[in-house]
Amino acid sequence: MGNVNKDQDLPLAGLRVIDCSQGLAAPSAAASLAMYGADVIKIESVGGDWGRGIGVNKAGNTCVSVAGNMGKRSLTVDLKNPHGRAFIKRLVDDADIFLESSRPGVAQRLGIDYPTLSADNPALIYLSMTGFGQHGPHRDRPCSDTVAQAFSGLLASNTGSDGIPHRVNTIPADVAGGLYAFQAISMALFRRTRTGKGGYIDLSLTQAIAHFQGVKFAEYQIEGGAPTPFNEPAGNYLARDGWIVITLVKEENFAAICTAMDLTELIDDPRYLTFQARGENKLELRRIIAERVATQSADHWLEIFAAKGILANRVYDYGDWLGDSHVTETQAVEYFEQPGIGQIGYPAMPGGMAQAATLAPTIGFGDAAILRDVGLSDTEIAELTASGAVHLSGD
């Protein structure tokens, strides 16, 4: 059923969250609230959150639904049913936070908009997550992580040497949206401790991923034109047995790299004296370094670079990271058993104060217990299910 018994020492212990959002962005914000101790009740339609259909589905969950719903409880409610909407209103009357991610206007048509739900609960913090926000000429445009990348300039910024703008495959708009949503809710909670009032948060994927790139927007205006690499010849290079990354953040780092690779003739070459000069001559510089890297193993270069304080690492895949001794010794990964899937290793929440990652629920798992927890009698539960407003899984 997820994390029902919360550690009372966690920062958000005692708070109740009603999560009507779908996908990854807003749900991941609610999952973060759960990790910090809140009791999060995931409200799903009969078919489930559409995030359960992204990727390979095992035992009712995918990678998206696991990442977005860890630590929650799940309840299936038909929001098109008037009894279902009335039930949500009853739930929210005693809740602290409400999240939804429907298109602008949908929550109002369903009667679960902020004015309606906050009328009897002025301390409610209500977050709406959409692609372009609740206002403006683009508010009704369909949006996704990829669309947000394109709109925000991220795709253009990630144009490769092939001249093609490349989509970033780690769904950064959804992830950034979830983090900014968690941040905004946290600040609203802090404000509520002083004022006693809740509030409405209008957060969009496109604004989230734009703010995430703030330094590149500053670069575009200060330096002019399309963003360029800050620190040539930083990049990935193929050693004899695998890829490594080499990077630099100060001018003197370039001389250290050249010395370590026995390429000292490049240090005083006018084509490579500054970051700007290296950027203008990057193709030839990268070719020279790539040819030298290819002559030795990855470990050979990494040992030399480490001795000279040069920023470098083997290019890991996710399995490499999970198996790294540093990750293990610093408890940077947490393992939990996901029913029907098995053990999953998940990166620990940075900064501490959060509980360990825990399983994500299947649709409606433990739902009868949720209804009793929120104060419904057996008669009321029977009436809700008979009306079709609530669907019990039988678990």
**Which of the residues are catalytic?**
174
- In angstroms, the CA 218 to CA 40 distance is 38
Buried b (16+ CB within 10 A) or exposed e, 7-31: eeebebeebbbbbbbbbbbbbbbbb
Omega of the bond prior to 172 within 30 degrees of 0, cis? no
**Residue 7: helix, strand or coil by DSSP?**
coil
* C-alpha count within 13 angstroms, C-beta hemisphere, residue 290: 13
Sign, CA dihedral 79-82-87-90, equals positive
Backbone angles phi, psi at 213, to 5 degrees: -100, 20
Percent helix, strand, coil in the chain, to 5, is 45, 15, 40
- What is the four-CA torsion angle of 42, 349, 319, 173, rounded to 10 degrees? 60
Please name the residue ranges forming H helices in 40-130. Answer: 63-69, 82-93, 106-110, 114-118
Cβ neighbours of residue 199 closer than 8 Å, sequence gap 6 or more: 125, 126, 188, 191, 192
CA distance 39 to 46: 22
